[in-house]
């Protein structure tokens, strides 16, 4: 019985050294990078091509990229191994999706979600993020998921 989820299985290629049917992390990261590069290349050539072919390919590539990013975030939320979390975050960072851990920063309700509060007697800490409960993510400059944080509040 295979422990690999069905969406990560593939048919082994003839002469392949990996009989498990698993897609190596490097291959998955390469697929994501290619989708990201395809989107940029298609966007650059969009003005040169009048047909809707490039537009539909771009839309499909961007849709596939978003689906893969969401799948990686889903896996990150459920990963029990620090090494797996680190590798997924590195792969995502390689395509411009970065983790947001605002510990020590001023709480900003526009980009942070308050999950709790910790009372403090130190007025310098009032309004600062004490801890990140759930890591947030940005895709380049766009917020994908706000971090859920605990905020210091004055007693």
Domain boundaries, the chain: 6-95, 98-154
Report angle CA 56, 59, 60 to the nearest 5 degrees: 85
The number of C-alpha atoms within 13 Å of 92 and in the hemisphere containing its C-beta is 27
pLDDT in tens, 117-148: 999 999 999 999 999 999 999 999 999 999 99
Q: What does pLDDT average to over the chain? A: 82
pLDDT in tens, 66-91: 999 999 999 999 999 999 999 999 99
CB crowding 86-112: b at 16 or more within 10 Å, else e: eebbebbeebebebbebeebebeeeeb
Rounded to the nearest 10°, the torsion over CA 35, 40, 44, 45 is: 0
Phi, psi of 56 (to 5 degrees): -70, -35
Q: What is the pLDDT of residue 29?
A: 65
So what CATH class is 98-154?
mainly beta
Q: What is the pLDDT of residue 26?
A: 64
């Amino acid at each position: 019985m295979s422990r690999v989820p069905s969406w990560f299985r593939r048919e082994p290629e003839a002469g392949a050294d990996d009989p498990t049917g698993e897609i190596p992390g490097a291959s998955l990261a390469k697929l994501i990078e290619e989708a990201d590069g395809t989107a940029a290349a298609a966007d650059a050539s969009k003005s040169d091509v009048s047909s809707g072919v490039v537009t539909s390919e771009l839309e499909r590539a961007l849709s596939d990229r978003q689906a893969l990013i969401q799948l990686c975030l889903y896996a990150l939320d459920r990963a029990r191994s620090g090494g797996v979390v680190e590798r997924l975050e590195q792969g995502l960072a390689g395509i411009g999706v970065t983790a947001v851990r605002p510990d020590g920063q001023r709480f900003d309700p526009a980009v942070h979600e308050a999950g709790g509060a910790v009372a403090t007697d130190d007025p310098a800490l009032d309004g600062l993020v004490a801890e990140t409960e759930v890591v947030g993510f940005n895709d380049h400059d766009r917020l994908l998921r706000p971090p859920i944080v605990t905020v210091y509040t004055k007693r």
